[in-house]
Amino acid sequence: MRFYEILEKHYDYIFPFQNSTYDFIREGLNPQDKVLDVACGTGSYTIALRKEGILSCGLDLEESMIRIAEKKAEEQGIQGDFIVSNMLDMDLVHEGGLRRIFIIGNSLVHLNSLNQIKSFITTAINLLNEDGDLVIQIINYDRILKEHIDHLPTIHVPEISLTFERNYTYDAEAHLVDFSSKLTLQGETEEASVLLFPLKSEELVHLLMEAGFEEIHLYGSFKKDPYTDSSLPLIVVAKKKLS
């Protein structure tokens, strides 16, 4: 089974809207600013920005996710703007002039090489306004590799009797992580896996600088805790121009 097929029906239970995440994404934006939510899933953050008059557009490779996002927007009386597209083709489906691009949920590392990630970052900076920035959130792969971590915390959703197990197997020769998941809902289990590129913080910063970003900040949470070796996520804000 394809990885996101087991998530789509329960996505908003497994990855619910987080106020701290939204506040981080929202900070510094004004009504009529153009924003692109890459790998938007079911569009919760895109819709929330739209409610505040921010011209947010959600992009996702999974057509089923986009259909859910469009339905959610309609139910909330919001004019949604959602596109089915590969993240590497975002310049083909958006005209640019963006104040912010954000890609969260460990989505960037679904690209399987440094060259693909470099291509994404280069495209992103070209789509941004002069005062624009790129927000990235991934898992802290420095820690994953150093400590040989083989799983992430299991997600429990007791109100619907759901558990979501997440296991990592690192292939040193291929330099890829096999991310296998097991979703159990009311006693029935489905499994899927996907390969991820274990992008280290130093590699990401280098690619951002090489692309031309002039100011880069690293955080260990959406509450702006400092990024350390023990942080679970790595969150990066890369500004096109110095503040």
Condensed to tens digits (0 to 9), the pLDDT of residues 104-145 reads 999 999 999 999 999 999 999 999 999 999 999 999 999 999
Residue 1 has pLDDT above 60, yes or no: no
pLDDT for the residue 186: 87
Give the pLDDT score at 81: 94
Given a contact cutoff of 8 angstroms between Cβ atoms, the answer to whether 136 and 213 are in contact is: no
**Burial group, residue 130, by CB count within 10 angstroms (0-12, 13-18, 19+):** exposed
* DSSP reduced 3-state for 23: helix
Reply yes or no on whether the pLDDT at 4 is more than 80: no
- What pLDDT, in 10s, does the model give residues 13-48? 999 999 999 999 999 999 999 999 999 999 999 999
Sheet holding 233-239, edge to edge: 82-84, 55-60, 34-38, 98-103, 128-139, 233-239, 215-219
State pLDDT tens for residues 161-212: 999 999 999 999 999 999 999 999 988 999 999 999 999 999 999 999 999 9
- pTM (2 d.p.): 0.96
Burial of 50 (0-12, 13-18, 19+ CB in 10 A): buried
What pLDDT is attached to residue 56? Answer: 97
pLDDT score recorded for residue 159: 92
pLDDT tens string 49-63: 999 999 999 999 999
pLDDT of residue 2: 66
Please compute the mean of the pLDDT values over residues 85-102 and round it to a whole number.
95
Query: In this structure, are residues 121 and 206 in contact, taking their beta carbons and an 8 Å threshold?
Result: no
Q: What does the block give as tokens for 137?
A: 């959130």
